Structure 1
């Protein structure tokens, strides 16, 4: 088991796969994605690195249920984002002596800025869309993935009954680091336009991808150098984008104030759905 544990930790770059914590090695544990009691194996493809806090919060809920729960409970998504930016602005004042460790430290902060942006974009969109049937209808009518789906006449009424669950499952599966897909969804479903120039945000997303998936190196193997100024610029660029979207969201919708009956029902289901590891 120790060999598997070490392989999983190394594979995940000693980083919690839920909250991206990358600190004291001793607080990291190995978590089952699908709990053993629900048929999950102890093979490496069903194991992820987690911090003790996330592992405890997840308990024995399946990963998808856990992620859904964290989204549905984050109704104050702008405050969550702003708190993250405040924490990063505080942490960036930390003095790190080693140049190598300093670069890694700034890489982690840079990645966290992008992760916070993606969390806002996903949670704000999901909560808002699922809170109103008119938004769910627009999602289904405009999203290319739904246009590909075919229904038999016998399944139509069941599909109508299950439409919120279908939309919820689909939205939770979307990878929100595709800024262009997210931009199109916000416009087609919520009629919210992103700023025209997203070039700096796109570059930052690609840098974060290399930090997380290539251990801080570019495709050609060159090490990515991140300093304090680059982190601060990323904070400014991302904060400007999120403020722009949040202002329009407040004007155009009531999604940030109204929690739909569907989401309340799903929260009740998820809170009662536990397994034993």
Structure 2
């Protein structure tokens, strides 16, 4: 469940500050324009008791808030966030501090390659391929997400670049007091936002890497296709929407693994050009 802090002025002059629920976008949508989810909420002014109807709209790219009962009321709202727990704080701290993204990815891939060499009963092999396919795509997504978060949150220059180029941040409104408050927790705010991004929406990921890290992926049409197949693997156990069995083979998995390794090697060579180890090169 995501929340968002908002504030706006009532007709009586009272400044209303509340926390509202932010609905998840429509994950089944193929395009941003179709991903909007809406949530209506009634907020009462403590001074005059007037009821205000608030509308929260969330899409893949951004969340917006409006007071629809008062026409053009100016709403100041912050970044959507998940209620923090100790687990959330520890995970965010790990994402910000960890520099082991490529090692984790490589370990996942090595495990997949070993499993593909195993002697598995033919009848059970399709189920194994379904699980491995989803695992490889998830490993790529996790690498892209954690690498971007670690790189950006540990650089003031890159954080500024993200804030200036990403429409979600440019739409946010803060009071002068809130600007200083946000400045103190900016790294966590950025990490929280990036963690909540749908990283298998590759058009968004590709744009972020290009605009912020100056890292171009080249042709990743194979990965767009892989994400669709992964959806069939995860949500329908290897069958498409027409209930047809998807085509998977050891060769399909090996090709996916090769492309995934090539992509991560490309990114590592651009982000860490002087730190490639012998292990990295032999991978």
TM over 0.5: yes
1: CA distance, partners of 2:131 / 2:98:
23
For residues 44-59 of structure 1, the aligned pairs below 5 Å read: none
For residues 118-137 of structure 1, the aligned pairs below 5 Å read: 118-137=141-160
- 2:183 aligns with 160
Alpha-carbon contact 1:103-1:225 (below 8 Å) kept = no
**Structure 1 residue 228 and structure 2 residue 250: aligned?**
yes
Q: Cα RMSD over matched residues?
A: 2.0
How many pairs were matched up?
191
- CA offset at residue 112 of structure 1? 1.1
2: CA distance, partners of 1:182 / 1:174:
9
For residues 213-224 of structure 1, the aligned pairs below 5 Å read: 213-224=235-246
- CA offset at residue 69 of structure 1? 5.0
- CA offset at residue 249 of structure 1? 0.7
**Structure 1 residue 192 and structure 2 residue 180: aligned?**
no
Q: 2:120 aligns with which of 87, 92, 96?
A: 96
- CA offset at residue 67 of structure 1? 4.0
Higher relative contact order (CA 8 A, sep 6+): 1
User: Kindly tell me: are residues 62 and 212 of structure 1, through their superposed partners in 2, closer, same or farther at Cα, counting changes over 3 Å?
Assistant: farther
Q: 1:178 aligns with which of 193, 201, 205?
A: 201
Q: Higher strand fraction: Structure 1 or Structure 2?
A: 2
Alpha-carbon contact 2:96-2:153 (below 8 Å) kept = no
2: CA distance, partners of 1:222 / 1:71:
39
TM-score, normalisation: structure 2: 0.63
User: Kindly tell me: are residues 91 and 66 of structure 1, through their superposed partners in 2, closer, same or farther at Cα, counting changes over 3 Å?
Assistant: farther
Larger Rg: 2
**Structure 1 residue 142 and structure 2 residue 142: aligned?**
no
**Structure 1 residue 71 and structure 2 residue 130: aligned?**
no
Q: Which runs of 5+ in 2 are unaligned?
A: 1-84, 276-283
- CA offset at residue 110 of structure 1? 1.2
- 1:238 aligns with 260
- CA offset at residue 147 of structure 1? 1.4
1: CA distance, partners of 2:142 / 2:97:
12
1:251 counterpart SS class: coil
1: CA distance, partners of 2:257 / 2:202:
16
TM-score, normalisation: structure 1: 0.64
Deviations 1:174-202 (CA, angstroms, capped at 9, x unpaired): 1211111111111111111111x111111
Q: 2:223 aligns with which of 201, 221, 229?
A: 201
Deviations 1:91-148 (CA, angstroms, capped at 9, x unpaired): 101122142x210101111111111111110111111111111111111111111111
- CA offset at residue 153 of structure 1? 2.8
Deviations 1:36-69 (CA, angstroms, capped at 9, x unpaired): xxxxxxxxxxxxxxxxxxxxxxxxx655345435
Moved over 3 A (4+): 61-67
Q: Which runs of 5+ in 1 are unaligned?
A: 1-60, 255-277
Alpha-carbon contact 2:163-2:169 (below 8 Å) kept = yes
2: CA distance, partners of 1:62 / 1:98:
45
